[in-house]
Amino acid sequence: MTNENLIHYIHGIADNSMILGQRISELCGHGPTLETDIALTNIALDLLGQTRSYYQYVAELSPKDITEDDVAFLRKEREYKNVLLVEQPNTDFAYVIVRQYFFDVFHYLLLKELEKSKNVNFQAIAKKSLKEVSYHKRFSGDWLKRLGDGTDESKQKTQQAVNDLWVFTDELFHMTKDDQVVADAGFGVDNSTLKSEYYTMVKSLLKECKLQIPEVKYFQKGGKKGIHSEHMGYILSDMQFMQRTYPDMKW
Amino acid sequence: MSHTEKKIANADQIRSLEEMFDAKIARDGKIEPKDWMPEKYRKTHIRQISQHAHSEIVGMLPEANWISRAPSLRRKVALLAKVQDEAGHGLYLYSACETLGISREELYEQLHSGKAKYSSIFNYPTLTWADMGAIGWLVDGAAIINQVPLCSTSFGPYARAMVRVCKEESFHQRQGYEIMMTLCNGTQEQKDMAQDALNRWWWPALMMLGPTDEQSTHTEQSMIWKLKRKTNDELRQQFIDQTVPQADIIGLNIPDSELKYNNETGHYDFGEIDWEEFWQVVKGHGMCNKERISARKKAWDNGEWVRDAAVAYAEKQAESQEAKQAV
């Protein structure tokens, strides 16, 4: 296992937190209630905090003299390895919650395994993040219940979000070559082993929420290989605006 | 007792309650929500506290405008946390206001319809990253000057909320100043960005301390109720005296050619404020008045089905709980 394998593996995990954190922070100040606004901002803060820990580790591993901000802001679109799910837009509150829940369950299962990594940095980050992500999962799960089993309108909107976002869930369990190398070395997690527990958990909650489980033959994929949706370019043009417009400055 | 006698007895009772109420405030006692209070006290407090709460939540918007574009991860996280603090302030203040017998929905309705006001400063646009520094430094700085005296105001829930709010605002102010300082230690382009932000925010920040004493209404009664302890002009002078040396330290120029330290008074003399601009913005014709209110309305309207779902779900849960207990 080379440092390069390890760096690519970390991108695969950290970019999910970065892009989802970015997406959720777009909602700050625009939530349906002040309480949900505060809670969602907390989740964004947790995710961005986790991102910083991972990117600081990448900067340490990199042969170049770089910082967490170079990793966050100065890569090209193809170099971001987040899954397509997290870059999906904040269409409405149902999409926000369903996207969050679909990601949180995966994130929770991943961190539970990553905590057992042979790599002490991963152990430490996973241990800290797991507490946060357990809360995220509870928050999104509780909202999913309220929306799924609330009014007819909320049910219909939530079912729509479930139907539209379900196609992005399979990619969570894809493994790149780097992922495999790092997993085989006992540092990383083999995501494919999380799949069955993931779908058991998610389907069980959907049933409890009285929502239909979509039947899908063809799933979407690409993000993990750097082939993103059209949304990604806009996310980056916002996120990288300052660094691109005013290069090499300290803020 | 005749009707007239009853009326007189009633009036006497109110007078005596009022005397007790005034005496309590005079000896620095706190008025709590369940205490008797004159109707005017209740109304004035609803107006002022809700205006304050609205300012917090509308005030989230100009800064939230830069969260997605913050220039570093550290700055992004700090800005998000700051805007979240403002939501928290809004929450305490709405809660304090609700203890006076008005619902949050009613308060929002007043904001959305334009009946309730909020601080006009938030109707100015945030055009560059340096505005995040200028807002923290100047706007939070002016807010603290306005709010510190409120920590000992007579209405208990408001005073207690203010203690916490002021602590956080003071942190925000230092954070804003630190953003400005970093820019001033940076490249020429960054310094220019900082100066430009100061140029745009200086005068609106002075206006935040309110109209001149000559133009200001309600002051006398507010002084008695400890809603106000110093006049607007005194507060403004305090802000200027405090801020000018801070600008000097980081090498920024206050955009006022008449600004000059007066050895006799021990204060800075300053130029004329453009009150026409102040009233233009207060009356709804600032650059962003419409955007700010429509953003708040949109969030509220789009959230209606979500709030309805939460209520419906809670009712279903309560029903099934009752059904279980019945068995």
Angle between helices A3-25 and A231-239 (to 10 degrees): 90
Nearest CA in chain A to B187: A249
Q: Is the pLDDT of residue B146 over 80?
A: yes
Q: Is the pLDDT of residue B102 over 80?
A: yes
Contacts of B305 in chain A (CB under 8 A): 151, 153-154, 157
Judged by average pLDDT, the poorest of A7-21, B70-84, B209-223 is B209-223
Which pLDDT score is estimated for B213?
Answer: 84
CA of B234 vs chain A CAs: smallest distance (Å): 33
Angstrom distance (rounded) from CA B246 to CA B268: 13
CA of A154 vs chain B CAs: smallest distance (Å): 6
Hey, is the C-beta of A160 within 8 angstroms of any chain B C-beta?
no
How does pLDDT run across A205-251, given as a tens digit for each residue?
999 999 999 999 999 999 999 999 999 999 999 999 999 999 999 99
The β-bridge relationship of strands B260-262 and B267-269 is antiparallel
Hey, is the C-beta of A41 within 8 angstroms of any chain B C-beta?
yes
Nearest CA in chain A to B69: A239
Answer whether A20's CB lies under 8 Å from A86's CB.
Answer: yes
How does pLDDT run across B161-203, given as a tens digit for each residue?
999 999 999 999 999 999 999 999 999 999 999 999 999 999 9
Q: Is the pLDDT of residue B5 over 90?
A: no
A51 in any annotated domain: yes
Q: Is the pLDDT of residue B91 over 90?
A: yes
Hey, is the C-beta of A58 within 8 angstroms of any chain B C-beta?
no
Cβ-defined contact of B73 to A249 (cutoff 8 Å): no
Angstrom distance (rounded) from CA B166 to CA B147: 7
Which residues, numbered 168 to 227 in chain A, qualify as contacts with chain B under a Cβ-Cβ cut-off of 8 Å? Answer: none
Average pLDDT of the residues in A46-74: 98
Cβ-defined contact of A29 to B81 (cutoff 8 Å): no
Nearest CA in chain A to B133: A251
Which pLDDT score is estimated for B116?
Answer: 95
Cβ-defined contact of A93 to B306 (cutoff 8 Å): yes
Substitution target in B84, B192, B300 with the highest count of A β-carbons within 10 Å is B84
Average pLDDT of the residues in B253-282: 97
Which pLDDT score is estimated for A149?
Answer: 95
3-state secondary structure of B223: helix
Give the list of residues 6+ apart from residue B47 with CB closer than 8 angstroms, or none.
Answer: B116
**Mean pLDDT for chain B?**
94
Contacts of B319 in chain A (CB under 8 A): none
- Which residue's entry shows tokens 């008005």? B102
Cβ-defined contact of A28 to B316 (cutoff 8 Å): no
pLDDT band at B229 (very low <50, low <70, confident <90, very high): confident
- CB-defined contacts A:B, below 8 A: 138
Find the CB nearest B67 among A25, A34, A38: A25
Average pLDDT of the residues in B298-323: 95
Nearest CA in chain A to B68: A239
Share of chain A above pLDDT 70, in %: 100
Answer whether B159's CB lies under 8 Å from B216's CB.
Answer: no
At A226, list the tokens.
């750097």
At B249, list the tokens.
């330290």
Q: Is the pLDDT of residue B1 over 70?
A: no
Average pLDDT of the residues in B215-240: 88
Angstrom distance (rounded) from CA B294 to CA B111: 11
User: What stretches of chain B show up as alpha helix (H) in DSSP?
Assistant: 3-26, 39-64, 73-98, 104-113, 130-134, 140-147, 156-184, 188-207, 219-224, 232-249, 275-280, 289-302, 304-326
Q: What is the CA radius of gyration of chain A?
A: 18
Cβ-defined contact of B305 to A151 (cutoff 8 Å): yes
A250 in any annotated domain: no
Judged by average pLDDT, the poorest of B15-19, B89-93, B303-307 is B15-19
A63 in any annotated domain: yes
Quote the domain boundaries for residue A167. 3-245
Contacts of A49 in chain B (CB under 8 A): 77
Nearest CA in chain A to B53: A34
Angstrom distance (rounded) from CA B150 to CA B161: 9
Share of chain A above pLDDT 90, in %: 100
Angstrom distance (rounded) from CA B277 to CA B283: 10
Q: Is the pLDDT of residue B218 over 70?
A: no
Please state the separation of Cα B98 from the chain's center in Å. Answer: 17
Which pLDDT score is estimated for B55?
Answer: 97
Cβ-defined contact of A35 to B91 (cutoff 8 Å): yes
Which pLDDT score is estimated for A166?
Answer: 98
Angstrom distance (rounded) from CA B120 to CA B59: 10
At B15, list the tokens.
């007078």
Closest Cα partner for B67 from A122, A156, A27?
A27
Contacts of A32 in chain B (CB under 8 A): 299-300, 302-304, 306-307
How many separate domains does chain A show?
Answer: 1
Contacts of B64 in chain A (CB under 8 A): 28-30
Contacts of A52 in chain B (CB under 8 A): 73-74, 77
The CATH code of the domain that includes A209 is 1.20.1260.10
Average pLDDT of the residues in B257-277: 97
